[in-house]
């Protein structure tokens, strides 16, 4: 889907669900990572995360567009357009927009675990970051810590 087709879809959804025209532009913005889309207050354009279409499909994309159109129409009519405002919550429920964008399936990284052992009592410690062995000692016996090989 191109930006031109996206704008046409947004205009269609605006007239169908909101009974008002969408007079600005809608574009895909691949730099959006943690959000489904955003409404720009300065120029009234809407930006959509392309992953909403590629990873989640047309239905999720339409839900995100409805969400951004709620911001758009409420802002232009000088009503409460922010998430916390009651006007926004009511309009979003009326048109069936999505409240939150679904999370993108991420590759799960294994966290690095660094292991230490007390040279005196044998107490084991696991940390995610290295610690200064000359500064830290065992919490049980105050013995010296040794870095274990993984």
Catalytic positions: 68
97, 63 in Cβ contact below 8 A? yes
Residue 111, exposed/middle/buried by CB under 10 A (0-12, 13-18, 19+)? exposed
Give me the phi and psi of 3, to 5 degrees please. Answer: -65, -35
Q: Is 24 among the annotated ligand-binding positions?
A: no
**DSSP 3-state percent helix, strand, coil across the chain (nearest 5):** 35, 15, 50
Q: Is 67 among the annotated ligand-binding positions?
A: yes
The annotated binding site is made up of 67, 71
Binding residues for Zn(2+): 67, 71
């Amino acid at each position: 889907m191109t930006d031109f087709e996206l704008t046409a879809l947004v205009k269609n959804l605006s007239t169908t669900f909101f009974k008002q025209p969408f007079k600005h532009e809608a574009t895909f913005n691949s730099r959006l990572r943690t959000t489904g889309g955003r409404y720009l207050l300065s120029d009234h354009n809407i930006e959509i995360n392309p992953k909403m279409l590629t990873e989640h499909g047309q239905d999720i994309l339409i839900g995100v567009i409805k969400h951004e159109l709620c911001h758009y129409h409420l802002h232009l009519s000088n009503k409460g357009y922010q998430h916390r405002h009651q006007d926004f919550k009511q309009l979003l429920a009326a048109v069936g927009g999505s409240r939150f964008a679904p999370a993108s399936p991420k590759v799960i990284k294994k966290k690095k675990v660094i292991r230490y052992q007390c040279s005196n009592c044998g107490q084991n410690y696991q940390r995610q970051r290295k610690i200064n062995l000359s500064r830290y000692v065992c919490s049980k016996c105050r013995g010296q810590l040794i870095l274990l090989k993984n």
